[in-house]
Amino acid sequence: CGALDGAPAVLLLRTRDLFSLPFPLTTPVVTSVSIQAALRGWRLLLLPAAFPLAPRPPPSPHEQWRAQRSLDERRRALLDLFGLKLEVLPDGERRWHGCAKDTPRCFGTVRAQTPEYLLAGRWTPPCCLRWLRATARHVLAQLEAAGVRHWLEGGTLLGAVRTGDIIPWDYDVDVGLYLDDVPKCRWLAAVVATGRPVEDPEGFLWEKASEGDFFRVHFSRANRLHVDLWPFFARRGGLMTKRTWLGHAQDVEFPERFVRPLGAVGFAGVLAKAPNDPRAFLEFKFGPGAIERPEYPNPGVRRLAQDVPN
């Protein structure tokens, strides 16, 4: 609550409650306690000023500037400490404190299909979701313009069917495409021809994934939030297959009838290509009830029920 910043205040609360907070005396104290109290569902009662300050001469413009700068620096440090990425101000303005095009993403290496924020009991930082959406929209537009047959895959399709968006704990976007159509996309063709990453005019980085025969498009050279592009081809019997399998739940062959013809579904603010029967496709890959009962990528490490009780 910005109204509390720099204001004279008296906090009345039980000692055991104050020191039950993770950061009880982190400065600025009033802002720190108010944020932590809000996360715990505690209500604050703001009273009229009852403890007037001693008379002081008015501050000079330079003193006012220094005080505001110090307050802003302490507030930013506090938000960084709490891991808060988005601040919504009383007038509706938004301040982003997370990653950007020229910074690394907000989480490190994903281990056992589980990003570190899940282990901390959190979901994908909002800035990371914001840039994942931007990367997905860019990639889908490029594939569509090039005439590449493509569709949302796996957990990405699951999020699109459930909410029209990325699953709120996901860390990448998966798109399937026809292997024969790879040369149609100028960026993929350049990667195949040179064997090196290619940066397009909007700063997105296209490359061949080191883990196998598929492609990856990063938000930028610095920020490695990405879309994975999985080239599929039809083999005898009408099954779509691919050359690289990583052991994910969606890594199974499927009948080509699911993508001939392609359908469409709303996703991240655009209409994206998808299998023509998304429910049947998802249940073929993940089992019955996949849409109604989603799960984290690796339930053996952490289960959704640990964070969202039934």
Q: Please tell me the predicted confidence (pLDDT) of residue 84.
A: 86
Does the global pTM surpass 0.75? yes
* Chain segment 6-23, per-residue pLDDT in tens: 566 777 888 999 999 989
- Rounded mean pLDDT of 153-181? 97
- What does the alpha-carbon distance between residue 227 and residue 245 come to, in Å, rounded to a whole number? 17
Contacts of 287 (CB under 8 A, 6+ apart): none
Q: Where in the chain is the domain with CATH 3.30.460?
A: 128-306
Query: What pLDDT does 97 receive?
Result: 87
- pLDDT tens per residue, range 196-239: 999 999 999 999 999 999 999 999 999 999 999 999 999 988 99
How many Cβ atoms from other residues are within 10 Å of residue 165's Cβ?
A: 17
Residue 158 · residue 294 · CB < 8 Å: yes
What would the pLDDT profile of 102-157 be if each residue is shown by its tens digit? 999 999 989 999 999 999 889 999 999 999 999 999 999 999 999 999 999 999 99
Tell me: pLDDT of 49 over 70: no
Task: Select 128-306's CATH number: 1.10.3470, 3.40.50, 3.30.300, 3.30.460.
Answer: 3.30.460
